[in-house]
Amino acid sequence: MLLANLPALQVVIPLVSAPLCLLLRNPRHAWAWSSLVSAAVLAVAVMLAHRVYTEGTISYAIGAWATPWGIEYRIDMAGAMMVLIIAAISAVVMPYARRSILHEIEYKKIALFYTCYLLCLTGLLGIIVTGDTFNLFVFLEISSLSSYVLISLGSTRRALTAAFQYLVMGTIGATFILIGVGLLYMMTGTLNMVDIAERLPAVTDTRTIRVAFAFVTVGVSIKLALFPLHIWLPNAYTFAPSVVSAFMAATATKAGVYVLLRFFFTVFGSQFSFAAMHVSEIFMLLAIAAILVASLVAVFENNVKRMLAYSSVAQIGYTILGISLASAAGVSASMIQLFNHAMIKGALFLALGCVFLRLGSVTLKDMHGLARHMPWTMAAFVAGGLSLIGVPLTAGFISKWYLISAALTAGYWPLAVLVLISSLLALVYIWRVVEAAYFNVPGASMDKIKEAPASMLIPVWLLIGVNLYVGIDANLVVSMAQQAADALIGQVLQ
Amino acid sequence: MSPEIILLACIALPLLAPILISALHRWPNPREAVTLLTSAGLLLLVLSLHDAFLQGARPAIDIAEPLPGLAIGFEIEPLGMLFALLASFLWLVTSVYSIGYMRSHHEWRQTSFYSYFAVALGSVMGIAFAGNLFTLFIFYELLTLSTYPLVTHSGDNSAREGGRMYLGYLLGTSLMLLLLALIWTWSLTGTLDFREGGILAGTVSPAMAGLLLALYIFGIGKAAVIPMHLWLPAAMVAPTPVSALLHAVAVVKAGVFTVLKVTIYIFGIDFLSEVTATQWLMYVAGATILLASIVALRQDNLKLRLAWSTVSQLSYIVLCALLITPTGIIAGSAHMVMHGFAKITLFFCAGAILVMTHKTRISELDGIGRQMPWTMAAFSIAAISMIGIPPTAGFISKWYILLGTIESQQLVALGIIIISTLLNAAYFMPIVYAAFFREQTTATAHESRHNGAEAPLTVLLAITVTAAGTLALFFFPDKVLELAMMTAGAGR
B180 touches chain A (CB under 8 A): yes
Closest of B1, B96, B114 to residue B40, by C-alpha: B96
Question: Peptide bond preceding B430: is omega within 30 degrees of 0, i.e. cis?
Answer: no
Nearest by CB: B183 against A389, A405, A423: A405
Is the CB of residue B219 less than 8 Å from the CB of residue B180? yes
Please write the tens of the pLDDT for every residue from A366-382: 888 888 888 899 999 99
Cβ–Cβ below 8 Å for A420 and B142: no
Residues of A in contact with B141 (CB under 8 A): 391-393
Using CA coordinates, name the residue in chain B closest to A482: B68
Other Cβ atoms within 10 Å of B435 Cβ, number: 25
Q: Is B301 exposed, middle or buried (0-12, 13-18, 19+ CB in 10 A)?
A: middle
Q: What pLDDT shows up at residue A40?
A: 92
- How close A361 gets to chain B, by Cα (Å)? 24
Using CA coordinates, name the residue in chain B closest to A436: B160
Average pLDDT over chain B reads 88
Amino acid, single-letter form, for residue B421 = T
Residues of A in contact with B204 (CB under 8 A): none
Q: What pLDDT shows up at residue B445?
A: 60
Cβ–Cβ below 8 Å for A478 and B155: no
List b or e across B220-240, with b for residues whose CB sees 16 or more CB atoms inside 10 angstroms. Answer: bbbbbbbebbbbbbbbbbbbb
Percent of chain A with pLDDT over 70: 99
Q: What pLDDT shows up at residue B22?
A: 87
Q: Give DSSP secondary structure letters for B262-280.
A: IIIIII-HHHHTT-THHHH
Range of the domain at A381: 278-494
Query: What are the extents of the domains in chain B?
Result: 3-491
Residues of A in contact with B66 (CB under 8 A): 393, 398, 471-474
First to last CA, chain B: 33
Residues of B in contact with A420 (CB under 8 A): 175-176, 179-180
Cβ–Cβ below 8 Å for A439 and B160: yes
B175 touches chain A (CB under 8 A): yes
Is A89 inside any structural domain?
Answer: no
* DSSP class of B460: H
Closest of B400, B410, B386 to residue B328, by C-alpha: B400
- How close A232 gets to chain B, by Cα (Å)? 32
Using CA coordinates, name the residue in chain B closest to A471: B66
What is the C-alpha separation between A368 and B337, in angstroms, rounded?
Answer: 43
List b or e across B267-300, with b for residues whose CB sees 16 or more CB atoms inside 10 angstroms. Answer: bbbebbeebebbeebbbbbbebbbbbbebbeebe
What is the C-alpha separation between B216 and B262, in angstroms, rounded?
Answer: 8
Helix (H, G, I), strand (E, B) or coil at A135: helix
Q: Find all residues with CB under 8 Å of A29, minimum gap 6, and list them.
A: none
B164 touches chain A (CB under 8 A): yes
Q: What is the mean pLDDT of residues B72-88?
A: 92
Cβ–Cβ below 8 Å for B155 and A390: no
Residues of A in contact with B183 (CB under 8 A): 401, 404-405, 408, 416
pLDDT of residue A181 exceeding 80: yes
Using CA coordinates, name the residue in chain A closest to B178: A420
Residues of B in contact with A409 (CB under 8 A): 187
Q: Is A444 exposed, middle or buried (0-12, 13-18, 19+ CB in 10 A)?
A: exposed
Average pLDDT over chain A reads 89
Cβ–Cβ below 8 Å for A439 and B159: yes
Please write the tens of the pLDDT for every residue from A353-364: 999 998 888 888
Closest of A142, A317, A250 to residue A467, by C-alpha: A250
Closest of A28, A244, A255, A25 to residue A152, by C-alpha: A244
Q: Categorize the per-residue pLDDT at B444 as very low, low, confident or very high, splitting at 50, 70 and 90.
A: low
Chain A to chain B Cβ contacts (< 8 Å): 77
Range with top average pLDDT, A195-209, A262-276, A299-313: A299-313
Is A484 inside any structural domain?
Answer: yes
Residues of A in contact with B184 (CB under 8 A): 408
Give strand ranges (E) for B114-176: none
What is the C-alpha separation between B135 and B141, in angstroms, rounded?
Answer: 10
Residues of A in contact with B164 (CB under 8 A): 431, 435
Closest of A350, A272, A345, A263 to residue A311, by C-alpha: A345
Please write the tens of the pLDDT for every residue from A100-111: 888 888 888 888
Using CA coordinates, name the residue in chain B closest to A414: B180
Is the CB of residue B276 less than 8 Å from the CB of residue B324? no
Kind and range of the H or E run holding B95: helix B78-104
Please write the tens of the pLDDT for every residue from A376-413: 999 999 999 999 999 988 999 999 999 999 998 888 88
Least confident range from A226-230, A438-442, B117-121: namely A438-442
Q: What pLDDT shows up at residue B490?
A: 67
Percent of chain B with pLDDT over 90: 45
| Residue of B137, B156, B161, B171 best to disrupt the A interface, most CBs of A under 10 A | B171
Cβ–Cβ below 8 Å for B142 and A423: no
Amino acid, single-letter form, for residue B235 = A
Nearest by CB: B138 against A393, A474, A475: A393
pLDDT of residue A91 exceeding 90: yes
List b or e across A334-367, with b for residues whose CB sees 16 or more CB atoms inside 10 angstroms. Answer: bbbbbbbbbbbbbbbbbbbbbbbbbbeebbbebb
Using CA coordinates, name the residue in chain A closest to B69: A475
Closest of B138, B119, B8 to residue B62, by C-alpha: B8
Nearest by CB: B187 against A390, A405, A472: A405
pLDDT of residue A215 exceeding 60: yes
Helix (H, G, I), strand (E, B) or coil at B226: coil
Cβ–Cβ below 8 Å for A472 and B179: no
- How close B445 gets to chain A, by Cα (Å)? 38
Kind and range of the H or E run holding A35: helix A27-55
What is the C-alpha separation between B407 and B371, in angstroms, rounded?
Answer: 46
Residues of B in contact with A472 (CB under 8 A): 64, 66, 72
- How close B67 gets to chain A, by Cα (Å)? 6
Q: What pLDDT shows up at residue A321?
A: 93
Q: Categorize the per-residue pLDDT at B440 as very low, low, confident or very high, splitting at 50, 70 and 90.
A: confident
Give B73's Cβ-side CA count (13 Å radius): 18
Q: Which residues of A touch B (CB under 8 A)?
A: 386, 389-393, 398, 400-401, 404-405, 408-409, 416-417, 420-421, 423-424, 427, 431, 435, 438-439, 471-475, 478-479
pLDDT of residue A445 exceeding 80: no
Please write the tens of the pLDDT for every residue from B287-346: 999 999 999 999 999 999 999 999 999 999 999 999 888 899 999 999 999 999 999 999
Q: What pLDDT shows up at residue A5?
A: 82
What is the C-alpha separation between B21 and B322, in angstroms, rounded?
Answer: 42
pLDDT of residue A158 exceeding 60: yes
Using CA coordinates, name the residue in chain B closest to A468: B66
- How close B377 gets to chain A, by Cα (Å)? 39
pLDDT of residue B40 exceeding 90: yes
Q: Find all residues with CB under 8 Å of A66, minimum gap 6, and list them.
A: none
What is the C-alpha separation between A209 and A229, in angstroms, rounded?
Answer: 23
Q: Categorize the per-residue pLDDT at B491 as very low, low, confident or very high, splitting at 50, 70 and 90.
A: low
Dihedral sign computed on CA atoms, order A55, A58, A61, A67:
negative
Kind and range of the H or E run holding B63: strand B60-67
What is the C-alpha separation between A10 and A125, in angstroms, rounded?
Answer: 7
Cβ–Cβ below 8 Å for A416 and B183: yes
Cβ–Cβ below 8 Å for A393 and B137: no
Nearest by CB: B67 against A391, A423, A474: A474
pLDDT of residue B118 exceeding 70: yes
Nearest by CB: B183 against A401, A435, A475: A401
What is the C-alpha separation between B363 and B431, in angstroms, rounded?
Answer: 9
Cβ–Cβ below 8 Å for B64 and A473: yes
B208 touches chain A (CB under 8 A): no
Q: What is the mean pLDDT of residues A143-163?
A: 91
pLDDT of residue A304 exceeding 50: yes
| Residue of B108, B111, B138, B175 best to disrupt the A interface, most CBs of A under 10 A | B175
Phi, psi of B109 (to 5 degrees): 50, 45
Is A307 inside any structural domain?
Answer: yes
Residues of B in contact with A393 (CB under 8 A): 66, 138, 141-142
Is the CB of residue A216 less than 8 Å from the CB of residue A177? yes
Q: What is the mean pLDDT of residues B80-88?
A: 93
Is A212 inside any structural domain?
Answer: no
Q: What pLDDT shows up at residue A439?
A: 83
Other Cβ atoms within 10 Å of A441 Cβ, number: 10
Helix (H, G, I), strand (E, B) or coil at A73: strand
B391 touches chain A (CB under 8 A): no
Closest of A448, A449, A452, A440 to residue A364, by C-alpha: A440
Is A352 inside any structural domain?
Answer: yes
B159 touches chain A (CB under 8 A): yes
Is A327 inside any structural domain?
Answer: yes
Least confident range from A244-258, A383-397, B145-159: namely B145-159
B148 touches chain A (CB under 8 A): no
Q: What is the mean pLDDT of residues A141-165?
A: 91
pLDDT of residue A197 exceeding 90: no
B56: left (phi over 0), alpha (psi -120 to 50) or beta: left
Helix (H, G, I), strand (E, B) or coil at A67: coil
What is the C-alpha separation between B450 and A288, in angstroms, rounded?
Answer: 65
Q: What pLDDT shows up at residue B447?
A: 60
Helix (H, G, I), strand (E, B) or coil at A59: strand
Is the CB of residue A233 less than 8 Å from the CB of residue A225? yes
Q: What pLDDT shows up at residue B249?
A: 85
What is the C-alpha separation between A317 and A320, in angstroms, rounded?
Answer: 5
Q: Categorize the per-residue pLDDT at B469 as very low, low, confident or very high, splitting at 50, 70 and 90.
A: very high
Q: What is the mean pLDDT of residues A179-194?
A: 90
- How close B292 gets to chain A, by Cα (Å)? 27
Is A248 inside any structural domain?
Answer: no
Question: Peptide bond preceding B78: is omega within 30 degrees of 0, i.e. cis?
Answer: no
Cβ–Cβ below 8 Å for A390 and B175: yes
Q: What pLDDT shows up at residue A319?
A: 93
pLDDT of residue B161 exceeding 80: yes
Please write the tens of the pLDDT for every residue from B350-383: 988 888 888 888 888 888 888 888 899 999 999 9
Q: What pLDDT shows up at residue A493?
A: 39
Alpha helices in B179-301 (DSSP H): 179-189, 206-219, 231-234, 240-241, 251-261, 269-272, 277-298
Is the CB of residue A455 less than 8 Å from the CB of residue A99? yes
pLDDT of residue A492 exceeding 50: no
